[in-house]
Structure 1
Amino acid sequence: MATTISHGEKNSGFQAGVINGNIGNITIVQSETLNQECLRDLRTTDPLDDKERIKNSKGGLLKDAYRWILDNKEFRQWQDGQKDRLLWIRGDPGKGKTMLLCGVTEELTRLYGDNANILFFFCQATDPRINSATSVLRGLIYSLVKKHPSLLPYVRARYDHAGKALFEDVNAWNVLSTIFKDMLKDPTLQMTYLMIDALDECINGLDSLLDLIIQESSANLQIKWVVSSRNWPEITERLHIVTQLAPVSLELNEVSVSEAVNQFIQHKVQELAKAKKYSNKTRDAVQRYLLSNSQGTFLWVALVCQNLEKIRINVLKKLESFPPGLNTLYRRMIDQVRESEDAELCKEILAIMSTVFRPITLHELTSLIELPGDGDDDHIPLEEIIAICGSFLTLREHTVVFVHQSAKEFLLKEALSEILPGGIEAQHNMICARSLDVIFKTLQRDLFKIKLPGLPAKDICKPSPNPLAAAEYACVFWVDHLQGSKRNKSYDLGLNDRGPVDVFLQQKYLHWLEALSVLGSVSNGIRAMQKLEVLVQSVSTLEGHSVEVFCITWSPDGRQLTSVSWDTTVKVWDIATSQSMSTLEGPTDMIFSIVWSPDRRYIASSSNDRIVIIWDPATGQRVSTLKGHSNWVNSIAWSPDGSLLASASSDRTVRVWDPATSQSLSTLRGHSDSVNLIAWSPDGTRLASASNDNTVGIWDPATGQSMSSLRGHSDSVNLIAWSPDGTRLASASNDNTVGIWDPATGQSMSSLRGHSDSVNSIAWSPDGRRLASASDDGIVKIWDPATGQSASTLDGHSAKVFSIAWSPDGRLLASASGDMTVRVWDPVTSQSVSTREGPSHGIKLIAWSPDGTQLASTSNDNTVRIWDPANGKGTLTLEGHSCGINSIAWSPDGARLASTSNDNTVRIWDPATAQSVSTLEGHSAEVFQIVWSPDGTQLASTSNDNTVRIWDPATGQSISTLKVDSYYISSIAWSPDGSLLATASVYMTVQVWDPVTNLSVSTRDGHSLGITSIAWSPDGIRLASASNDYTVGIWDSTTGQSILNLEGHSRAIKAIAWSPDGTRLASASHDNTVRIWDPATGQSMSTLYITSRGFLDFDKFNPNHLHTSLDNMDMV
């Protein structure tokens, strides 16, 4: 008897099937194999489906429209010969390149059938699923594996470790291109034809894709390529270097193309005449008009015929309203939209479609537009509105798409002011606001009634109607639109406290994550939050100046900010509201400097009209004018008590004024060139000046006498700043450096180097622990003046940064730029952080310092933390990697710590200051392991790019590169004297290398499964290897011969370590044991039971003490 057992609703998480007969005979069948999972994650779209969709949307494939290419000389040479491996079809928009490729694919399929692989991919700029180089590779690999499942292991070898992220993370292109190249080299692969349409519509990674095509078109005689593109110079320049290139220009084949268009016209007119019941006269007149005006452009013909389908009467009269040429036709269609009764709605839809990041469905469009009418009965069906926009938009299975990429380009270039009168930023802002609105209205807890968590997304039954149908686009792309609206006035309001984004994070964030998981878009959500994190670094943007802003100053209480622009105005801003309070207008010449009085009652400004003006910031009115300089006044500064005002001029002097009487009290002379800047010491007893004579002067303002002259810069000194306690003075110069001086002795304390262009502004934090600098390179840097190291970098301006200023509490930093904006930042630093708790993201790896006094650990938040093992407290946090950290290693002297990351870099840190000393760049894929040479002068790293690099940690330069014949290097180890390097791979091979010659000294294959770890004996004579085959091998490092094979573990071995005297060898296994071996006899001496096995090492000071990830263990 059959029994059916069920529990709960469809998505309750438990569904029992039919139990037949004896329970012992029940067979559990998995619904999906791992291969199917891999293919499903690999697929973005199926190129075969894309081709059919394209053919159907263009009314089918007309053989007479592509027949000419089959007899073309260049095509025949490419098809029949061995010399030309790359056929490049190029032409202007609408010339029929896509349908030509469709025709070529079908012709090659007809000719070769199963005797060749015919693979193709159609790029489309408006669809993010098929508009990137990575998408192209995913499509080609997917098609190849579908036809030849035996090639899937090339993908599975990496997929089984990484999952879907393999195809989507920052390294996807590098990984996929390696897989693709390996597949093309497979000896079983037949002759293969690879076709890529519309290279110009590959928005992301075009250069990388072109590199791959150029390289592979000459590397493999079994592969032939066909690509198409517009006549873009950047593509032309790259492809013309290919020696095996067969170019087909549609413009140079004008006669053939025109004849093909004529055939297309005859076909379309016959369809029209039949459908619209044209008379012979009308049919002939339509055909003549199209033949006379098509200009050899398929798209123009298709668009005119599409419009003729809607015309019922006066066909010939209306026919003449369609001008020749694509852009003139688009212009006529815009005029038609403007003249329609639903013009505003049409323009709103065109504006939305020109701004969204992918084609959207009708449901999604409904949530983003404002429909007219008071009730549903007044709403015009969207299908009808789309029809009015028919020369630009069309519907494909309820999805709104552009008829052609050229239609979108016309709207954004030629009709921008008509469809987007407020600008593209305002449109992004509107879509962001409406996206958040639909998110707030739609999302709620357990929207799909899943009830029990943990049900795979693919197993969730989506109800009809789908509650997420209208919100899917909004959920995935709202942050992208927020980012796109950065220059819009409403942008800052959205990021304010209690603004829409703040409310979203507090009320809808978890519901949003749930929706993304159901949509299979969690990775998009992660990227969205990363973008949002960058956006909120810039707290607000103040806009109002008409040209570049070059100087800013905070009011003493931090509530107001003044900005100076090349438009000769000064604006006073209210930080809380981001609104302009007043505008100071008066100087007819350029304002150079502006400062608040300490009591906030006055603002002083200087300009190139040789005067100093004192203003009332509340009213914007002038209070007094100070005259006396004979040249431009470059800088002014109030004394700390506000009783005096100093000014510096191009007349080589500094003047000290009494602002109450407007009288000059003293004139300081001594510089031999213009004085650019002045600054009072915090106690008001000294005055510093910076000059074009490359020096900094220290003065006694009471006597006017020079106290010292600071020399060291090699170019003009433009900036100076006292530390808050007056014990240090910072200076910035056109030599791109910042100097830190002891003003008491006149000695240089350090020189900060890191900017690539002139430094325009420097500012100490209120506590004196940080120094910020801004440069013509568009970057703001925050330094640790004690070490001279860069602590963090603020990158967001799109032009030179002219000025920076800390808020009085040191929590905010403002910067002014040539991009006409002022940005207020919440600076992210790399300062030491003391805490009593471990990282909230968990500990991944640990490493003891050589003297055992410190412990380093890594966390899932991409940081390294330094611990004091005596009290368990974290002492420092090292931040800088942008992706997960894979390995850490102390230098032998404990003075440096190295880390490797999935961001393809190695970083070297100073563990005393938490500063990044250098970043080693050169690997093209994830960097996994790092090992210092015994003397600490070299560093070896392994990577997924199949190389081992040897670095000089002192200079950060790569010394040599070892190319390993293995897909994954699992372990590396230096010999005790540093003369040799051993590598082990998951392919069961141990190699010993001479890093000087880059040659392999010996190779040993012996394990039956992958090797996980290797370790040299202290005398360098033996090499031990741990393997997934449950054994430890001991080898002669010189000959590669096996000495012993240690057996006893019941699961894979992950770590091994020699005792300092070489008399014992420890191994840690997944069987939760550590075994101690006698390497002379191969006998197991003892077995220790643990619950962690990631780290293993003998104590260098006590050979009877063993360190593990879990704890320290005594052997006796």
Structure 2
Amino acid sequence: MKFAYRFSNLLGAVYRHGNLNFSKDGNSVISPVGNRLSVFDLKNNKSETLPVSTTKNITCVGLSPDGSLAILVDEDGAAILVSLVTRAVLHHYHFHKPVNSVRFSPDGRKFVITKENVALMYYAPGKKREFNAFQLDKSYYGPYDETTCIDWTTDSKCFAVGSKDMSTWVFGAERWANLIYYSLGGHKDVVVGCFFEKDSLDLYTVSQDGTLCMWESDTEPEELKKGLRYKERKQKERQNTRVTEDQEEEVVEEGEGGEMRGEVIKGSADVPQEEDGIKNVRYRQRSKQFFNKEGDFNKLTAAAFHKDTHILVTGFASGVFHLHELPEFNLIHSLSISDQRIAAIAMNCTGDWIGFGCSGLGQLLVWEWQSESYVFKQQGHFNNMAALAYSPDGQYVATGGDDGKVKVWNTNSGLCFVTFTEHTSSVTNVTFTSSGFVVVSASLDGTVRAFDLHRYRNFRTFTSPRPAQFSSLAVDGSGELVCAGAQDSFEIFLWSMQTGRLLEVLSGHEGPVSSLSFCPSRAVLASASWDRTVRLWDMLDSWHAKEVLRLTSDGMAVAYRPDGQELAVATLDGEISFWNSQTAAQMGSITGRHDLQMGRKDADKITAKQSSKGKSFTSLCYSADGESILAGGHSKFVCIYNIREQVLLKKFEISCNLSLDAMEEFLDRRKMTEFGSLSMVDEGAGDGDGVEVSLPGVRRGDMSSRHFKPEIRVSSLHFSPTGRVNSLVN
């Protein structure tokens, strides 16, 4: 069996954080998901995740006008240049600070990034090989606080930058004599978006308090006049003022990381002086409009403007969005798409489709405003995914999460086509019946539910006589028997799928039942428990415990070989033991603790080597030929072992995202203090709209800290029925 597996696609998440982009033809939406980039083809109803990744979560994406290049920037300001044609990384670059936005010019020759209170303009990489693909042209200073947004004029002559200091700055991309910089006020809150009119310098700005300002320029783009370049201006000053030799050498300054900063333009609140009698560009406020006229005072969180159709789309913290026609400010329609904050908005090239991203729910929507219908509507698990199962034909994948939802995904398209929301607590396990048309799920809400994939409904609900939290699940080969293990009462409950009645309650375990598995060849059920035993229950002998297998530690997972002749058990001490299912004799064992290579969490007081003693494999799956076994657990690695030789064949790293906790074996010594790592210091994000509510003692959901890093781990894994694909959830 070959194990040359490589990353194929990402299911379970469609949007996390950052801005959205549409492709050049407008038929695909590009969404950042963690540290990867997903492309959703809206016409062919298919998704694809690029085989490239950043070191941390992506915060902003810049797409070139021809759609061939994309710039991905992560939380730390590390950027990669990706070819969307070849799906390859072309260049790496570090901006040294978090980047707020990236935008290519319409002609594709330059791009601007904003970080802190500065806007940096770079030459866009060309089609030829270059030593430095990101060559800095100009640095623009002016805002007194963080910059938030960028927009270019249609002729690429000027661009505008919005800021948290409630001002908007208009800069010239070239050295114009009548427009070096211009500062616009008029707002009482953070500027969320700034947009130029088509073929004009007229500007629209929207702020977080729901205010729209319309600015009218007294100059057309064609009236911009070329000014003197830096060297020419210095030479003219030298002739006029006879500057000294020391002052003549300040032509080019050096920036961060030793890069050449090029020409530096520093704006101020004062209007720049006129050169050679040329009248400067001036703006006046044409009008001011308010979105919160009814007094609901919703925070405006995202905005997008389509220059051709003059349509402004604004999203709010309550999940409501408005469509207005400018400059008349006519409301086309208003709709609520979610009860969570809208984090990103984008419009395609024709202006017909509007993309919305909701980071709180992990939701991605594409809305056609003319027909008032959804073109695309997907939502991933907004909490941890806990379970995974393949259908017998390998066409579908069912997942369950801590959000209480069961989702079924098409493996060909990568999209979710049905979501079941009947569970009221975390889903701990899911499985398909042998027919492939029924999905069974177990939950901590005390129910086991069966869902029909023909009618998309919950047709059976199994409950126990006494309330119990189900942590494990198994269905026999005929699909007639459903059993679930409880983690609080230590019992196993058996139901009939046909009648929905409880047939038997199996007692004997002295700890939570962690895993169940039916034998494929015989009427035997295997159950692993934290009481350091695996019990084999004989279906033909009134469900008595046929054998009791004694383990070296707590049982975490159990799996039968496809022929039913062998049983694999993962224990808490990091071992995988193999047993003959007929004689109950141990055939061998694999010590896999060292293969897990658990990383050290920021809050750990001990080293990764010491903490790995409490880590183990939590999920097992045999290969189709039964010669190998796939194992995953409290680690970022998934291991494939040869059972006969008891050796490690292959080890896969499921993620390189440093935004997750326990990714590295050693913590940065520069951040270590006598009180712990500085990474645990909650810097906070102020009282802004993006800050979650802090709840003490919460381990899931919003978490108890504003500064939270989810831990990397593998919750469940499976080989596909064909053996060509293995899937896992983390």
Q: Do these two structures clear the TM 0.5 threshold for a shared fold by scoring above it?
A: no
Q: Which has the higher helix share?
A: 1
**Which of the pair has more CA radius of gyration?**
1
Q: Which has the higher strand share?
A: 2
The normalised TM-score by structure 2 is: 0.42
User: Which protein has greater RCO, CA pairs closer than 8 Å, 6+ apart?
Assistant: 2
